[in-house]
Amino acid sequence: MSAKKVLVVGGTGYLGQHLLQGFSEIQATTPFALAFPYNSFPPQPLFLAFPTSFAFHVDLKTGLGFDSISQQFGQPDVVVNCAALSVPRACENDPDAAISINVPSSLVNWLSSFAQSDNTLVIHISTDQVYKGVKSFYKEEDEALPVNVYGKSKVAAEQFISEKWSNFAILRSSIIFGPQTVSPAPKSLPIQWIDGVLSKGDKVEFFYDEYRCPVYVKDVVAIIRTLIDKWLSEGKKMQLLLNVGGPDRVSRVQMAEAVAQIRGYDSSLIKPVSASSVDRGVKSPADISMDITKLVQKLNICPTPFKDGVKLTLAAEASM
């Protein structure tokens, strides 16, 4: 049987690289044909780390370059879309760019060009920022009422996919944290950033009144692989919406306290402040913690507790 084809859109980003790594680790027992597009410069570290993967130069805004994937790779069995403009302030400053990148119209239009287009499962990474943030533990059926352009663009993406595609899983992800990637991501990673600032011994401000359910990156990879296995083994089209977070609702202060406790830093360096005391140039929802009951029940996956994920992250950093 020929290897199933997986296209990781956003494969050069943080989650995308961890996905490529996850697939490469099981190639001996479960071979996949892997491909990923890149936007500007050929990512040499990824070519070296994943030499059997196909890489294609693609402009996700215009769709230029997708034809070369059709010719050299063919129709994918699965597309995982991790590509996004995910910095809220950047989205606020350029709403048109946010929509053109975060709503995957060129990707879906390209997939529609295949004769049996619904033979492709689309797994789309969304965000907890689709929720308004006025209560704790949002469920998937709660209304999406985002407070910023980033959240609005991700809601638009969810609506576009559910209207234009018949075989999909949309994953509303919280903050993703974990070890650094082969080709370091340009965005600072949350645990590494906290570790870096506390290690200097200076007092640092952290918000005590914004809550999320951070999720360990390898759990997100496991969730995606489970969905892929389900599709490839059962062949049943899915239309699934899942909250993807860790089991713990934590503030930025509690995140910093976990790092300090594990590292042995002085916890008095952590100065709790209200999120309202800082102008970030963009509205931010106060509490977008998520109920992950549906995730646990549907996929039989129990995400890693936050402190355990922090320990794993810091241990991986120490061994790099």
Residue-wise pLDDT for 221-259, tens only, equals 999 999 999 999 999 999 999 999 999 999 999 999 999
Phi, psi of 288 (to 5 degrees): -120, 35
**Structure confidence at residue 85 as a pLDDT band (50, 70, 90):** very high
Phi, psi of 300 (to 5 degrees): 55, 40
What are the residue ranges of helices labelled H in the chain? 14-25, 44-49, 66-72, 88-93, 95-102, 105-111, 149-164, 190-199, 217-234, 252-263, 293-299, 306-319
Task: Check whether 105 has a pLDDT greater than 80.
Answer: yes
Task: Check whether 41 has a pLDDT greater than 90.
Answer: no
Please tell me the CATH code under which domain 4-181+210-248+286-318 is placed: 3.40.50.720
Residue 198 CA to residue 208 CA, distance in Å, equals: 17
Q: Which residue has the higher pLDDT, 298 or 318?
A: 298
CA distances for 303 relative to 29, 100, 222, 245, angstroms: 24, 32, 9, 7
**Structure confidence at residue 71 as a pLDDT band (50, 70, 90):** very high
Give the pLDDT confidence of 112-159 residue by residue, as tens digits.
999 888 899 999 999 999 999 999 999 999 999 999 999 999 999 999
Reported as half-sphere exposure (CB side, CA atoms, 13 A), residue 154 has a value of 31
Average pLDDT over residues 74-82: 97
User: What is the model's pLDDT at position 185?
Assistant: 79
User: What is the model's pLDDT at position 50?
Assistant: 92
**Structure confidence at residue 43 as a pLDDT band (50, 70, 90):** confident
